[in-house]
Amino acid sequence: GAVVSQHPSWVICKSGTSVKIECRSLDFQATTMFWYRQFPKQSLMLMATSNEGSKATYEQGVEKDKFLINHASLTLSTLTVTSAHPEDSSFYICSAPDRAGATNEKLFFGSGTQLSVL
Amino acid sequence: DAKTTQPPSMDCAEGRAANLPCNHSTISGNEYVYWYRQIHSQGPQYIIHGLKNNETNEMASLIITEDRKSSTLILPHATLRDTAVYYCIVRGYNDMRFGAGTRLTVKP
In angstroms, what separates the C-alpha of A17 from chain B's closest C-alpha?
24
Are residues A102 and A44 in contact, defined by beta-carbon separation less than 8 angstroms? no
**pLDDT for residue A54:** 87
Percent of chain B having pLDDT more than 70?
95
Q: What is the DSSP letter of A1?
A: -
Per-residue tens of pLDDT for chain A, all 118 residues: 678 999 999 999 999 999 999 999 998 888 889 999 999 989 999 999 998 888 999 999 999 999 999 998 999 999 999 999 999 999 999 999 876 556 667 889 999 999 999 9
Looking at chain A, the number of H-run helices and the number of E-run strands are: 0, 11
**pLDDT for residue A59:** 92
Q: What residues of B are in contact with residue A93 (Cβ under 8 Å)? A: 43-44
**pLDDT for residue B75:** 98
Q: What residues of B are in contact with residue A95 (Cβ under 8 Å)? A: 43-44, 96
Q: Which residue of B has its CA nearest to A40?
A: B41
**pLDDT for residue A110:** 95
DSSP letters, A79-105, are EEE-S--GGG-EEEEEEEESSTT-TT-
Window A:32-61, CB contacts with B under 8 Å = 32, 34, 36, 43-46, 49
**pLDDT for residue A57:** 92
How far is residue A60's CA from residue A79's CA, in Å, rounded to a whole number? 17
**pLDDT for residue B96:** 75
Of residues B43, B97, B100, nearest to A112 (C-beta): B43
Q: Which residue of B has its CA nearest to A57?
A: B94
- pLDDT at residue B68 above 90? yes
**pLDDT for residue A105:** 77
Residue A91 contacts B, CB cutoff 8 Å? yes
**pLDDT for residue B28:** 85
Contact assignment for A4 to B100 by CB distance below 8 Å: no
Of residues B31, B94, B99, nearest to A32 (C-beta): B94
**pLDDT for residue A100:** 57
Q: Which residue of B has its CA nearest to A5?
A: B43
Region B42-57: mean pLDDT is 93
